[in-house]
Amino acid sequence: MNRRDFLKMGATGLALASLPGWANIANPERRLVIFFLEGGLDGLSTIVPKLEGRLESFREELMPDNLLDLSSHWALHPAMRATHQLMLQQDVLGIHATSFPYTKRSHFEGQNLIQGGGLAPFSESTGWVGRALDIASNGGRAMSLDTPLLLRGTTGVDNYYPAHVNGSSNPTTRLLEMLHGSLSPEWQTENDKLMARLNGRVFNSRDRSPRGLSEEAGKALARPDGPVAAMIRLGGYDTHAGQGGKNPGRLFSLTGELDTCISTLRKNLGDAWDNTTFITLTEFGRTVKVNGSSGTEHGYGTAMLVGGGAVNGGAVLADWPGLAKSDQFERRDLMATIDSRSICAAVLEHTFGLEHAEIAERVFFTPNLPRLTDRIYL
C-alpha cells in the first residue's frame, strides 16, 4: 500500500497559509515549508550512521552503495545529491534518532498526531503550525476545517493542485460571481478564494508533479506579500517491499524526488531562501531489520532534515541511541532520543518570532519541551 491520490491534497499536493493583511508579525519576511513524507521514512537509509557496525547485519540487503559522505560518522542516501551539496554548504542540518512521541505505528494516528501536535492522535482539531500562526498574528480568527490539519487554525489556507479536464474551459470570474448566491456558505468561501486566484493570475502552471508544486510553492513564498507557510505532501514512503539497497529501489526514487523538491524550492525562492526554513516530517521511522520482502515495517525513530539560509547546517544533530537489540525501541525500531517537537518548536520560534515557552505551552501543550533553537539556527 502506499500513496493515496486525491484532489484536495493529492498524493502530492500543496497547501499554502497566508496571514491576513492586518496581522502584525515580528519578521514578516520569514517563511516555513514542510515536506510531509507520508508513509514513514526509513531514517537509517536516509542519513546512514556509517560507524554503526550492526547496521549491516540487520539490513545488508537495504544498504545503498555510493553513499554521499558527510563525515566519518554519517553519510547521505545516494539519491540526495543536491541536499548533500546543501549540507556541505552548511544550509541543511540532519537530525537523527528523532520522532514525535508516537509509538503505536498506525499511519492514520501517526499522521494525525504529527500534524495536530497534541498529546494524542485525534485530540486536536487544529494543527501546530496553524496554532502558532494564530498566536503570532494575535489570533482570534475563525478556524477553517477544509485544510490540512497541520495548517488548520488559520484562515487563508489554500490548496493547490492543477486541473486536467478534457473539453472543459477555465472558470471565469463572471461565472463565479453568478454561481455565488446558489452555493452553500462553505462553498462560497471557496468561491471567493477561486475568484481571488483568477484575479491574481497565480498558479497558471499545469505541472502537478512534486517538483512542479515545489516550484509553485517557492514562487508564491518568494513574494513579499506571499503566504508564510506551505506544506507539500509527498507520498509512498511506506516501503514494506522493494525498498532497495545496492540496487536502487523505491526509496531511491522517493529520496531522489525529495531531493529535487528541495533544490527546486530553493531555486524558486531565490533570495527568499535566506529567510526560509524547510523541514521534513514523517509519521514514524521503520524497523531496523529488513523484512521478508526487502522492505521494512512501521517503526519509531527516524531522521529529519532542516534547511534554509538561516539554518546552522553542515552537521548531523543526534543523541545516537545505538542499534544493539537492547538499545532498540521494543527491540525492533530505532529509538528516538530527540523529540521532533523540539525541532518544530525551534522552527516556529525563529520563523514566527514566538517565545519557546509559549510554543511549548500553547502549541504543543508540553511546558517542559526541551529547547533546541540555538542548536539549529545561527
Task: Count Cβ atoms within 10 A of the Cβ of residue 217 and give its class: 0-12 exposed, 13-18 middle, 19 or more buried.
Answer: buried
| Cβ(208)–Cβ(160) below 8 Å | no
Considering only the stretches 17-25, 246-254, 306-314, 349-357, report the one whose residues sit in contact with another protein under the rule CB under 8 A: 306-314
Residue selected from 246, 319, 355, 357 as contacting another protein according to rule CB under 8 A? 319
The dihedrals phi and psi of 132, each to the nearest 5 degrees, come to -65, -40
Compute the radius of gyration of the chain from its Cα atoms: 20
Q: Among residue numbers 37 through 66, which ones bind another protein (CB under 8 A)?
A: 38, 49, 51-54, 61
The grid coordinates listed for 148 are 490540512
Residue selected from 23, 79, 234, 316 as contacting another protein according to rule CB under 8 A? 316
Residue with cell 497558471: 204
Q: Among residue numbers 79 through 118, which ones bind another protein (CB under 8 A)?
A: 87-91, 98-109, 111-113, 115
Query: Does the protein bind another protein through residue 67 (CB under 8 A)?
Result: no
Residue selected from 315, 361, 362, 373 as contacting another protein according to rule CB under 8 A? 315
CA distance 308 to 377: 10
Shortest Å distance, C-beta 138 to another protein: 26
Q: Among residue numbers 12 through 31, which ones bind another protein (CB under 8 A)?
A: none
* Cβ-Cβ contacts under 8 Å for 200 (sequence gap 6 or more): none
160/278 with CB nearer another protein = 160
Q: How many CA atoms lie within 13 A of 310 on its CB side?
A: 20
24/65 with CB nearer another protein = 65
346: number of Cβ within 10 Å: 24
The grid coordinates listed for 50 are 556509517
Shortest Å distance, C-beta 315 to another protein: 5
Q: Among residue numbers 359 through 378, which ones bind another protein (CB under 8 A)?
A: 369-370, 372, 375
24/197 with CB nearer another protein = 197
| Cβ(335)–Cβ(328) below 8 Å | yes
DSSP track, 155-214: S-EEEE-----TT-----HHHHHHHHTTS-HHHHHHHHHHHHHHHHT-------SHHHHH
Residue selected from 313, 346, 354, 377 as contacting another protein according to rule CB under 8 A? 313
Shortest Å distance, C-beta 68 to another protein: 10
251/323 with CB nearer another protein = 323
Residue with cell 521478508: 292
Considering only the stretches 71-79, 131-139, 251-259, 351-359, report the one whose residues sit in contact with another protein under the rule CB under 8 A: 71-79
Residue selected from 74, 128, 278, 377 as contacting another protein according to rule CB under 8 A? 74
CA distance 203 to 200: 9
Shortest Å distance, C-beta 163 to another protein: 6
Residue with cell 498524493: 11
374: number of Cβ within 10 Å: 9
Which amino acid would we find at residue 117?
A: G
**Residue 66 three-state SS:** coil
The footprint of another protein on this chain (CB under 8 A) covers a number of residues equal to 144
Residue with cell 547496521: 55
Q: Among residue numbers 262 through 301, which ones bind another protein (CB under 8 A)?
A: 269-271, 273-274, 289-295, 297, 300
The dihedrals phi and psi of 357, each to the nearest 5 degrees, come to -60, -40
138/226 with CB nearer another protein = 226
190/355 with CB nearer another protein = 190
Which amino acid would we find at residue 293?
A: S
Q: Among residue numbers 143 through 202, which ones bind another protein (CB under 8 A)?
A: 145-146, 148-150, 158-161, 163-171, 174-176, 178-188, 190-191, 193-194, 197, 201-202
| Cβ(36)–Cβ(305) below 8 Å | no
Query: Does the protein bind another protein through residue 226 (CB under 8 A)?
Result: yes
100/252 with CB nearer another protein = 100
Q: Among residue numbers 242 through 261, which ones bind another protein (CB under 8 A)?
A: none
